[in-house]
C-alpha cells in the first residue's frame, strides 16, 4: 500500500508540472513584440533612412543660389585704380522654368515613400522573428519544466526503491532499471535546460534586449486558437515586400521622367552694373548689364542616363513580378502548413497524449496492486513522457505555423 501511495504521488506530480521557485520576469507575446519594435537598433537605423529621404525631398525643393561676380578691367601698371580701372558687379541666377525642379521634387517624394515602405517592412520582419522566437522559447520552457519535474520524481522513486532494495523487498535488477531510467531522464532534462536557455537568449536577441534576464513566458501554449485566412489577393495587398517593390518601381519611373527633363536646356539670367572710365576725363559712365545664357543640347542630350533610367524601370517591374510570385508561393505554403499542423494536433497528437496518460495511470495502478512488473510501468511512463513532449513540440509547430501564416498575410500584430 505504501508503494502505491508513493508511485501515485510521484506520477501525479509529474503530470502537474514544475513551478518556478524564484522570481523571474514575466513576458507576454505582445510585450515582447512591443519591446522589439522599440529597442531594436536595426529599426532605429532604418527609421533614420526615412529622415534622410525626407531631408533630401526638402533639399530638392530649394531654388539654386545666385552667383555674384566682381570684376576689374583695364588693369595696367601706373594706373590710378579709382580713375583708370573699369569695374563690373554682376549677379547670375540659374532659372528652372522647364520642369526640372518639379521632377526633382517628385523623385525625392518617391524616395520618401520607398524609405517609409522599407521601414515598415523592417518592422514586419522583426515582428515575425519575435513571434517565431517566442513560441520556440515557450516550447523549450515547457519541455524543460516537464523533464525537470520527471527527473525530480524519478529521483524520489530511485530513493524509494533503494530503500526497498536494502530491506530486501525488491530485486536488485528492478532497482537498477529504475536508476537507469532516472539517469536517462536527468540527462534529457539537462539537455532541455540548455536548449531552453539558448532559445531564451535568441528571443532576447530578437527583442533587442541586452540585459539577458531570466524570463517566464506567459502565453498559454495549449490555448485553442484558429484564424481565418485572408486570401491570396488580400495578402498581396498587405505584404510589405510588395509595397516596397511598388514604391521602388514608382521611384524608378520618377527618375526616368527626371532624366527626360534633364535633357532640356539650362537657362541663366545675369544682371549687373559696370562703371567705365572715359579717356582723359576724371569721371566715369555707369551702365547696366543684362544677359541670358542657354545651353544647347546638341551632342549631350542625356541619352545615356535616360536609357539607364528606362532599364531600371524594366528591372523594377520584373522585381515586382518576382516578388508577387514568391509571395503567392509563400502564402500557399504557409496556409497548407497551418491546416496540416492543426489537423495533426487535433487528430493525432492530442489523442496520443490522452491515451499515453491513461495507459500510464493504468500501469501505475496495476503496479500498485502487484498486477504488473516494474518494466511495464517504466515503459508506460516513458511513453507518457514522450507523448507529452511530442504534443508540446506539435503545439509549438502549430503556433509557429500561425505566425508564419500571419506573416505571409502581412499581419504584424
pLDDT tier for residue 72 given thresholds of 50, 70 and 90: confident
* Residue 349 DSSP label: I
User: What is the tens place of the pLDDT at every residue in 262-273?
Assistant: 998 889 999 999
Rounded-to-integer distance, Cα 316 and Cα 335, Å: 28
Q: Is 400 a residue whose pLDDT tops 80? A: yes
Residues in contact with 349: Cβ distance below 8 Å, sequence separation at least 6, in sequence order: 387, 390, 391, 394, 395
CB 74 within 8 A of CB 85: yes
**Residue 345 is part of a domain; what is its CATH number?**
1.20.1600.10
C-alpha cell at 373: 512488473
- The cell 486558437 sits on which residue? 225
SS3 state of residue 285: strand
The pLDDT score that the predictor gives to residue 12 is 44
SS3 state of residue 87: strand
Burial of residue 19 (number of CB atoms within 10 Å: 0-12, 13-18, 19+): exposed
Residue 73 lies in a domain: yes
Q: Is 339 a residue whose pLDDT tops 60? A: yes
Q: Is 15 a residue whose pLDDT tops 80? A: no
User: What is the tens place of the pLDDT at every residue in 228-275?
Assistant: 888 888 888 889 999 999 999 999 999 999 999 999 888 999 999 988
Rounded-to-integer distance, Cα 327 and Cα 372, Å: 57
Residue 413 lies in a domain: no
Beta bridge partner(s), residue 270: 92, 291
CB 363 within 8 A of CB 381: yes
* Residue 348 DSSP label: I
Question: In sequence order, what E strands does 254-405 have?
Answer: 267-277, 284-294
How many domains, the chain?
Answer: 1
The pLDDT score that the predictor gives to residue 371 is 66
The pLDDT score that the predictor gives to residue 324 is 93
The pLDDT score that the predictor gives to residue 413 is 66
pLDDT tier for residue 4 given thresholds of 50, 70 and 90: very low
Residue 223 lies in a domain: yes
The pLDDT score that the predictor gives to residue 137 is 92
The arithmetic mean of pLDDT across residues 366-384, rounded, is: 77
The pLDDT score that the predictor gives to residue 18 is 41
Residue 140 lies in a domain: yes
- The cell 509563400 sits on which residue? 330
Range of the domain at 385: 2-408
Residue 170 lies in a domain: yes
C-alpha cell at 274: 559696370
Geometric angle at alpha carbon 34, from 396 and 238, rounded to 5°? 75
Percentage of residues in the chain having pLDDT higher than 90: 36
Residue 24 lies in a domain: yes
The pLDDT score that the predictor gives to residue 2 is 41
Give me the chain's average pLDDT, please.
85
The arithmetic mean of pLDDT across residues 315-344, rounded, is: 93
C-alpha cell at 375: 518494466
Q: Is 225 a residue whose pLDDT tops 80? A: no
Q: Which helix (H) or strand (E) holds 133?
A: helix 100-166
Find the largest Cα–Cα distance for the chain. 141
Q: Is 376 a residue whose pLDDT tops 60? A: yes
Rounded-to-integer distance, Cα 57 and Cα 128, Å: 31
The arithmetic mean of pLDDT across residues 353-375, rounded, is: 80
Amino acid at each position: 500500500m505504501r508503494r502505491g501511495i508513493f508511485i501515485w504521488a510521484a506520477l501525479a506530480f509529474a503530470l502537474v508540472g514544475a513551478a518556478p521557485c524564484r522570481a523571474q520576469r514575466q513576458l507576454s507575446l505582445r510585450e515582447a513584440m512591443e519591446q522589439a519594435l522599440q529597442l531594436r537598433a536595426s529599426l532605429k537605423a532604418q527609421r533614420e533612412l526615412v529622415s534622410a529621404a525626407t531631408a533630401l525631398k526638402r533639399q530638392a525643393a530649394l531654388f539654386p543660389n545666385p552667383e555674384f561676380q566682381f570684376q576689374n578691367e583695364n588693369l595696367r601698371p601706373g594706373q590710378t585704380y579709382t580713375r583708370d580701372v573699369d569695374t563690373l558687379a554682376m549677379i547670375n541666377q540659374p532659372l528652372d522654368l522647364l520642369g526640372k525642379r518639379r521632377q526633382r521634387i517628385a523623385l525625392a517624394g518617391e524616395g520618401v515613400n520607398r524609405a517609409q515602405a522599407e521601414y515598415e517592412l523592417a518592422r514586419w520582419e522583426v515582428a515575425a522573428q519575435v513571434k517565431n522566437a517566442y513560441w520556440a522559447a515557450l516550447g523549450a520552457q515547457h519541455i524543460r519544466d516537464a523533464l525537470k519535474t520527471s527527473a525530480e520524481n524519478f529521483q524520489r522513486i530511485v530513493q524509494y526503491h533503494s530503500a526497498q532494495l536494502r530491506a530486501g523487498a525488491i530485486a536488485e535488477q528492478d532497482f537498477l532499471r529504475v536508476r537507469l531510467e532516472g539517469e536517462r531522464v536527468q540527462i534529457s532534462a539537462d539537455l532541455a535546460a540548455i536548449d531552453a536557455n539558448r532559445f531564451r537568449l535568441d528571443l532576447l536577441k530578437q527583442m533587442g534586449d541586452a540585459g539577458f534576464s531570466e524570463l517566464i513566458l506567459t502565453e498559454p501554449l495549449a490555448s485553442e486558437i484558429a484564424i481565418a485566412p485572408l486570401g491570396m489577393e488580400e495578402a498581396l495587398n498587405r505584404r510589405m515586400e510588395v509595397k516596397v517593390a511598388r514604391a521602388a518601381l514608382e521611384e524608378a519611373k520618377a527618375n526616368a521622367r527626371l532624366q527626360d527633363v534633364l535633357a532640356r536646356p539650362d537657362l541663366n539670367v545675369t544682371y549687373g552694373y559696370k562703371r567705365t572710365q572715359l579717356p582723359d576725363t576724371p569721371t566715369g559712365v555707369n551702365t547696366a548689364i543684362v544677359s541670358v545664357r542657354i545651353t544647347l543640347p546638341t551632342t549631350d542630350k542625356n541619352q545615356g542616363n535616360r536609357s539607364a533610367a528606362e532599364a531600371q524601370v524594366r528591372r523594377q517591374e520584373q522585381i515586382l513580378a518576382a516578388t508577387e510570385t514568391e509571395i503567392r508561393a509563400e502564402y500557399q505554403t504557409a496556409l497548407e502548413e497551418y491546416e496540416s499542423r492543426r489537423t495533426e494536433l487535433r487528430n493525432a497528437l492530442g489523442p496520443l497524449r490522452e491515451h499515453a496518460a491513461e495507459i500510464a495511470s493504468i500501469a501505475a495502478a496495476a503496479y500498485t496492486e502487484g498486477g504488473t512488473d516494474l518494466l511495464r510501468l517504466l515503459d508506460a511512463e516513458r511513453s507518457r513522457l514522450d507523448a507529452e513532449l511530442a504534443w508540446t513540440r506539435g503545439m509549438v509547430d502549430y503556433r509557429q505555423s500561425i505566425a508564419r501564416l500571419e506573416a505571409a498575410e502581412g499581419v504584424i500584430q
